[in-house]
């Protein structure tokens, strides 16, 4: 009897674990904000930001934008869910909110509520659009007319391209956002998660999207992953989404182990490559790290080539200090050098020929003068001889 009761208890426990895997997994304790601090530190900087406290600034390059870079949308039971290509995407795109600073760029404010994506949605004739929802904004507020997002924070695509996995190649130029937003309306559809007691904004209607793209969409099933990360395979999204507590098991609110002074944070353009992302795309990151080194090596090589191209006149110049060697060794190169430096012209072999040419006519002129004198001097002599003969 006792053995039977024990076996029955085991069967009941196993059944509960199979029926409610999400709730069973949620019972794993010790998951606090520390999981964000530890897992995201290698890929960015934690900063104490005014009015928000500890926020995370990713090292993802100057062109990074949340729910825009390196990812796409899939339909799940919770609504349209953002699948990120970053290994750390399980956290900042499903917990917390994003905000923008004109100097520091995008930064993430952590929170403990999981969601498929914390964005606002809009529908315009022929377009779907979304924008990151600011921190502290509830869904009811985001649906109201009083809530506004800067026009350049919105991403729009044509409705027929919405379900593409390479959606980043189909974004509409942000210069068109103003006219699109004027003709758009807010999508206020939601999904209530009974297990987590949360309400999510679910985005565009499935039937509407299917009509736009011309095919049927099968929702992807979400399964909880046991460790940080995410993986989409065979129509299932395995993602790490624990129940995160504000405080740890000891009742203390954890803090990042390394908090960077806000004054020491560089602009996104200057920050790119300073804190690389080694585990997302190691090969690309290594190439980015090697490229600056190559450029430093190439620069002196180019200078040497330039020196070699200009080296011939430069090498002749010091040789010209030895004037005799230049005259004897390379007389054919003397004219171009004389054009470069006029000071070298006097001592060169060009001048001696000029002197020789001037001396030759001088030696000839006296002869001409003697010939002109001789006819005058012999005339009186001839007369005298003739008179004597006579």
Domain boundaries, the chain: 1-28, 31-273
Compute the distance between CA of residue 167 and CA of residue 310 in angstroms, rounded to an integer.
52
The mean pLDDT value for 16-44 works out to 68
Residues near 154 by beta carbon (within 8 Å), at least 6 away in sequence: 122, 129, 130, 131, 174, 177, 180, 181
Compute the distance between CA of residue 197 and CA of residue 163 in angstroms, rounded to an integer.
28
Burial class (CB in 10 A: 0-12, 13-18, 19+), 232: middle
pLDDT at 170 over 70: yes
Helical packing angle, 378-389 and 351-376, nearest 10° = 20
pLDDT at 35 over 80: yes
**Whole-number percent of the chain with pLDDT over 90:** 56
| Secondary structure (DSSP) of 181-234 | HHT-EE---EEEETTTTEEEE--S-HHHHHHHHTS--PPBEEEE-SSS-EEEET
pLDDT at 272 over 90: no
Compute the distance between CA of residue 287 and CA of residue 131 in angstroms, rounded to an integer.
32
pLDDT at 72 over 70: yes
Name residue 316's beta-bridge partners: none
Task: Give residue 106's pLDDT.
Answer: 97
| Secondary structure (DSSP) of 301-368 | HHHHHHHHHTHHHHHHHHHTTSHHHHHHH-GGGHHHHHHH-GGGTTTSTTHHHHHHHHHHHHHHHHHH
Compute the distance between CA of residue 118 and CA of residue 263 in angstroms, rounded to an integer.
29
The mean pLDDT value for 68-81 works out to 97
pLDDT at 14 over 80: no
**Higher local confidence (pLDDT), 296 or 150:** 150
* 330-358 residue pLDDT tens: 444 444 444 444 444 444 444 444 444 44
* 209-266 residue pLDDT tens: 999 999 999 999 999 999 999 999 988 999 999 999 988 888 888 999 999 999 999 8
Name residue 119's beta-bridge partners: 132
* 98-131 residue pLDDT tens: 999 999 999 999 999 999 999 999 999 999 999 9
Length of the chain counted residue by residue? 390
Asked if 54 and 48 count as a contact pair (C-beta separation under 8 A), the reply is: yes
For 344-350, the CB contacts below 8 A with 24+ separation are 344/320, 347/323, 348/323
Task: Give residue 316's pLDDT.
Answer: 37
pLDDT at 177 over 90: yes
Asked if 265 and 45 count as a contact pair (C-beta separation under 8 A), the reply is: yes
pLDDT at 47 over 90: yes
Asked if 257 and 272 count as a contact pair (C-beta separation under 8 A), the reply is: no
User: What pTM value is reported for the model?
Assistant: 0.65
Residues near 99 by beta carbon (within 8 Å), at least 6 away in sequence: 52, 55, 106, 107, 109, 132, 134, 135
- Please report which helix (H) or strand (E) contains residue 287, including its range: helix 282-309
> In the predicted model, what is the mean pLDDT of the chain?
75
Task: Give residue 338's pLDDT.
Answer: 46
Lowest-pLDDT choice from 111-125, 145-159, 174-188, 340-354: 340-354
């Amino acid at each position: 009897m006792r053995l039977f009761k024990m076996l029955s208890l085991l069967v009941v426990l196993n059944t509960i674990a199979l029926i409610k895997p999400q709730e069973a997994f949620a019972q794993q304790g010790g998951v606090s904000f520390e999981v964000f601090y530890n897992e995201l530190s290698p890929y960015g900087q934690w900063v104490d930001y005014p009015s928000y406290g500890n926020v995370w600034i990713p090292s993802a390059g100057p062109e990074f934008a949340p729910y825009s870079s390196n990812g796409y949308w899939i339909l799940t039971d919770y609504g349209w869910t953002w699948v990120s290509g970053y290994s750390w995407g399980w956290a900042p795109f499903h917990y917390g909110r994003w905000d923008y600073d004109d100097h520091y760029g995008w930064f993430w404010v952590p929170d403990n509520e999981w969601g498929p994506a914390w964005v606002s949605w809009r529908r315009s004739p022929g377009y779907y659009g979304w924008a990151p929802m600011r921190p502290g904004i509830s869904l009811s507020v985001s649906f109201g007319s009083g809530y506004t997002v800067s026009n350049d924070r919105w991403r729009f695509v044509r409705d027929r391209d919405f379900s593409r996995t390479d959606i980043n190649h189909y974004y509409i130029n942000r210069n068109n956002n103003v006219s699109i937003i004027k003709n758009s309306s807010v999508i206020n559809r939601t999904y209530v998660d009974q297990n987590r007691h949360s309400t999510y904004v679910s985005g565009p209607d499935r039937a509407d999207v299917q009509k736009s793209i011309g095919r049927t969409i099968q929702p992807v099933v979400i399964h909880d992953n046991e460790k940080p990360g995410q993986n989409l395979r065979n129509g299932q999204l395995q993602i790490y989404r624990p129940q995160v507590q504000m405080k740890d098991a000891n009742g203390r609110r954890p803090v990042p182990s390394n908090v960077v002074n806000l004054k020491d944070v560089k602009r996104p353009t200057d920050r790119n490559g300073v804190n690389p992302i080694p585990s997302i795309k190691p090969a690309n990151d290594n190439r980015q790290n090697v490229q600056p080194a190559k450029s430093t090596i190439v620069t002196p090589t180019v200078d040497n080539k330039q020196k070699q191209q200009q080296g011939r006149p430069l090498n002749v110049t010091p040789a010209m200090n030895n004037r005799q060697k230049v005259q004897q060794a390379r007389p054919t190169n003397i004219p171009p050098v004389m054009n470069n430096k006029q000071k070298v012209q006097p001592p060169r072999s060009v001048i001696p020929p000029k002197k020789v040419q001037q001396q030759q006519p001088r030696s000839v002129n006296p002869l001409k003068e003697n010939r002109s004198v001789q006819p005058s001097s012999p005339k009186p002599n001839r007369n005298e001889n003739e008179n004597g003969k006579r």
